[in-house]
Chain A
Amino acid sequence: MTRSSRPLTDPSKRRPPRMLSGNEACALAAIDAGMRFYAGYPITPSSEIAEHLANWLPRMGGVFIAMEDEIASMGAIIGASLTGTKAMTATSGPGFSLMQENIGYASMAEVPVVVVNVMRGGPSTGLPTSPAQGDVMQARWGTHGDHPVIALTPYSVEETYEATVRAFNLSEQYRVPVILLLDEVIAHVNEKVALPEREALRIVERPQPEVPPEQYLPFVDTPTGVPPMAPFGTGYRYHVTGLAHDETGFQTNDPKVIDAQLRRLHRKLELGRHDIVEVDEFLLEDAEIGVFAYGSSARSARRAIRLAREKGIRAGMLRPKTMWPFPDEEVRAWTKRLKAWLVPEMNLGQAAHEVEWAVAGAVPVRRLGRVDGNLFHPNDILAAIEELA
Chain B
Amino acid sequence: MFDYQSYLRLNHFPLIWCPGCGNGVVMKSMLRAIDNLRLPRDQVCVVSGIGCSSRLSGYLDFNTVHTTHGRALTFATGIKMAKPELTVIVVTGDGDCTAIGGNHFIHAARRNIDLTVILINNLIYGMTGGQHSPTTPSGSRASTAPFGNSENTFNVSGLAIAAGASFVARSTTYHAQQCDKLIEKGIQTPGFALIEIMAACPTSFGRANKAGSPADMMLWQRDHAVTPQRAEKMSPEELQDKFTIGVLAETSRPECRAEYQKLIDRLREQEAKA
Is B58 in the interface zone, CB < 8 Å from A? Answer: yes
**Of B18-26, B27-35, B71-79, B228-236, the one with at least 4 CB within 8 A of chain A:** B71-79
What is the total number of residues of chain B having a CB less than 8 Å from a CB of chain A?
41
Kindly list chain B residues whose C-beta atoms are within 8 Å of the C-beta of A80: 78-79, 81-82
Q: Which of A206-264 contact B (CB under 8 A)?
A: 232-235, 237-243, 250-251
Kindly list chain B residues whose C-beta atoms are within 8 Å of the C-beta of A238: 63-64
In the complex with contacts A80-B82, A232-B83, A71-B74 CB distance below 8 A: yes
Whether B57 pairs with A76 at a CB distance below 8 angstroms is no
In the complex with contacts A102-B68, A234-B42, A79-B47 CB distance below 8 A: yes
Kindly list chain B residues whose C-beta atoms are within 8 Å of the C-beta of A39: 77-78
**Nearest Cβ on chain B to A223's Cβ, whole angstroms:** 27
Whether A235 pairs with B42 at a CB distance below 8 angstroms is yes
Is B62 in the interface zone, CB < 8 Å from A? Answer: yes
Is B61 in the interface zone, CB < 8 Å from A? Answer: yes
A63 to B231, CA, bound (A): 44
State which of A69, A237, A251 has its C-beta within 8 Å of the C-beta of B61: A237
The interface residues of chain A, by DSSP majority, are classed as: mixed
**Contact mask A74-89 → B, CB, 8 Å, 1/0?**
1111111111110100
**Nearest Cβ on chain B to A229's Cβ, whole angstroms:** 13
State which of A61, A68, A102, A232 has its C-beta within 8 Å of the C-beta of B86: A232
**Contact mask A315-346 → B, CB, 8 Å, 1/0?**
00000000000000000000000000000000
Interface size for chain A: under 10, 10 to 19, 20 to 34, or 35 or more residues? 35 or more
In the complex with contacts A240-B65, A242-B66, A79-B75 CB distance below 8 A: yes
Kindly list chain B residues whose C-beta atoms are within 8 Å of the C-beta of A235: 42
Whether A232 pairs with B68 at a CB distance below 8 angstroms is no
Name 30 A/B residue pairs within 8 A (Cβ), A-sorted: A58-B267, A59-B264, A59-B267, A59-B268, A59-B271, A63-B81, A65-B260, A69-B103, A71-B71, A71-B74, A72-B77, A78-B75, A78-B78, A79-B76, A79-B82, A80-B79, A82-B78, A83-B79, A83-B83, A232-B45, A233-B43, A233-B45, A233-B86, A237-B41, A237-B61, A237-B62, A239-B65, A241-B58, A241-B66, A242-B68
Q: Which 7 A-B pairs have the closest CB atoms?
A: A79-B78, A75-B74, A76-B78, A80-B82, A79-B75, A83-B83, A80-B78
